[in-house]
């Protein structure tokens, strides 16, 4: 009798376990052990808020265990984002659209008043009812880069393997972002695969919709975003597993031959001469910046510079470009003696965060090569000049940010600076 009861209890437990696996908006024990986390608890929108906001105000609700977009959004509004930023991950979710519906899942989104919409910084997995949209919007037709499953305006899916459930039924999608390797999945089938930040990736970015969006897609980390594009949409079972980030890599930012890996903005002259990277004022002597194509968050960078004139330059970090030649971010100063070389300055904000002691001004070697080291790790920023410590500061605003590394040409100056031996370690 005891054996029968024991077996019955075991069967009952197994049934309960299977049943719990079939519930929406919950994780199995195996998923929990594997590191999966829910982004939606099935009851409320805890963990979500307006894009560029602190609260949830734009009409998104929870109905019958689903996040629902009200359908009031537009190209410029109707976005909600996670509180937390994510870097490398697997992201899975169920979705359902109305007839002709249009929505999207966007990731690595940057928040800043300059970024008016999420998609100018974050790549998008497009969610759309292809046939229904064209019926509703006839005679307009979707471009191939606008259709379901695409890496929006960048990479097309393999339509031969796509399996889409009829409109009004649930579909399951997945994004894998693993240290630059990207995959889109739909209903258990991989439909898109590519490598981010390669020459091919930048060529696609520069020749299409994102040609005038300089910060599109180059952030390595950001919030995750759901889009209300003017059509009701439903989401459930949103879960994410963070993947290990590869640190300790050593990157040479300059190959000594050409400007591979750099992008120019603003007014300036940039070229390679005798194995040195040369930055000079342009003819109009306006601001100019030579920027890395990629973002760098935590890093330890050492380089050498030689000032060939009396002009003001700098090494920007955690920075991004606005328009033609405006920069938002932080600068490690590179300037003539008595002008705080290796001090930290905030552009478009608080100004000087840390200047160097007057007695350390003589560490700078005029008309000769100097070695500059800049280490950024979390909130902490440290600088050294010719082996001597110059600045050590803690600043949460810097720690919360990300961005490019840039070489500055200040306006109104006669600037010529030589640079060489860039060695960056990703922390």
pLDDT per residue, tens digit, the chain (427 aa), is: 444 444 443 444 343 333 344 699 999 999 999 999 999 999 999 999 999 999 999 899 999 999 999 999 888 899 999 999 999 999 999 999 999 999 999 999 999 999 999 999 999 999 999 999 999 999 999 999 999 999 999 999 999 999 999 988 999 999 999 999 999 999 999 999 999 999 999 999 999 999 999 999 999 999 999 999 999 999 999 999 999 998 888 988 999 999 999 999 999 999 999 999 999 998 888 899 999 999 999 999 999 999 998 888 999 999 999 876 789 999 999 999 999 999 999 998 899 999 999 999 999 999 999 999 999 999 999 999 999 999 999 999 999 999 999 999 998 888 999 999 999 999 9
DSSP 8-state assignment for residue 94: E
Q: Could you give the 3-state DSSP secondary structure of residue 229?
A: coil
Q: Could you please report the per-residue DSSP string of 111-128?
A: --TT--SGGGTS-EEEEE
- Distance of alpha carbon 115 from the chain centroid: 12
DSSP 8-state assignment for residue 131: H
- What are the start and end residues of each CATH 2.60.120.560 domain in the chain? 28-242, 250-426
Sheet containing strand 222-228, edge to edge, reads 48-50, 79-86, 222-228, 102-109, 124-128
Output the pLDDT for position 324: 63
Count Cβ atoms below 10 Å from residue 309 Cβ, excluding itself.
14
28-242 under CATH 2.60.120.560, yes or no: yes
Output the pLDDT for position 15: 38
Output the pLDDT for position 322: 86
Domain 250-426 CATH (choose: 3.40.50.300, 1.10.8.60, 3.20.20.70, 2.60.120.560):
2.60.120.560
**CA–CA separation, 170 vs 189, rounded Å?**
15
Output the pLDDT for position 246: 86
- Distance of alpha carbon 311 from the chain centroid: 33
- Nearest CA-CA partner of 363 in 340, 389, 333, 386: 386
**CA–CA separation, 236 vs 73, rounded Å?**
19
């Amino acid at each position: 009798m005891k054996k029968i009861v024991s077996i019955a209890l075991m069967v009952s437990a197994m049934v309960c376990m299977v049943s719990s696996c079939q519930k929406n908006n919950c994780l199995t024990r195996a998923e929990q052990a594997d590191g999966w986390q829910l982004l939606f608890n099935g009851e409320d929108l805890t963990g979500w808020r307006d894009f560029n906001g602190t609260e949830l105000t734009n009409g998104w609700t929870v109905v019958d265990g689903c996040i629902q977009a009200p359908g009031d959004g537009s190209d410029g509004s109707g976005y909600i984002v996670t509180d937390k930023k994510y870097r490398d991950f697997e992201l899975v979710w169920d979705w359902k659209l109305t007839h002709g519906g249009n929505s999207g899942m966007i990731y690595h989104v940057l928040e800043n008043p300059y970024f008016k919409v999420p998609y100018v910084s974050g790549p998008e997995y497009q969610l759309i009812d292809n046939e229904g949209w064209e019926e509703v919007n006839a005679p307009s037709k979707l471009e191939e880069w606008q259709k379901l499953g695409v890496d929006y305006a960048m990479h097309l899916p393999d339509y031969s393997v796509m399996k889409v459930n009829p409109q009004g039924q649930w579909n399951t999608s997945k994004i894998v972002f693993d240290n630059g390797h990207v995959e889109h999945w739909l209903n258990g089938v991989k439909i898109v695969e590519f490598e981010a930040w390669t020459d091919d990736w930048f060529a696609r970015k520069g020749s299409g919709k994102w040609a005038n969006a300089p910060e599109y897609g180059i952030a390595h980390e950001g919030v995750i975003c759901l889009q209300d594009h003017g059509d009701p949409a439903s989401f459930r079972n949103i879960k994410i597993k963070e993947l290990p980030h590869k640190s300790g890599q050593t990157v040479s930012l300059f190959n000594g031959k050409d400007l591979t890996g750099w992008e120019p903005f603003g007014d300036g002259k940039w070229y390679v001469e005798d194995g040195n990277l040369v930055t000079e004022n342009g003819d109009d002597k306006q601001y100019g910046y030579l920027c890395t194509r990629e973002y760098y968050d935590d890093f330890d960078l050492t380089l050498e510079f030689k000032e060939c004139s009396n002009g003001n330059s700098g090494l920007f970090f955690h920075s991004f470009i606005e328009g033609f030649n405006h920069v938002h971010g932080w600068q490690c100063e590179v300037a003539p003696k008595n002008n705080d070389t290796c001090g930290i300055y905030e552009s478009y904000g608080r100004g000087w965060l840390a200047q160097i002691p007057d007695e350390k001004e003589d560490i700078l070697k005029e008309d000769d090569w100097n070695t500059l080291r800049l280490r950024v790790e979390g909130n902490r920023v440290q600088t050294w000049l010719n082996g001597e410590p110059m600045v050590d500061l803690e600043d949460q605003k810097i720690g919360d940010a990300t961005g490019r590394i840039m070489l500055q040409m200040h306006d109104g100056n006669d600037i010529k600076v030589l640079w060489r031996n860039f060695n960056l370690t990703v922390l």
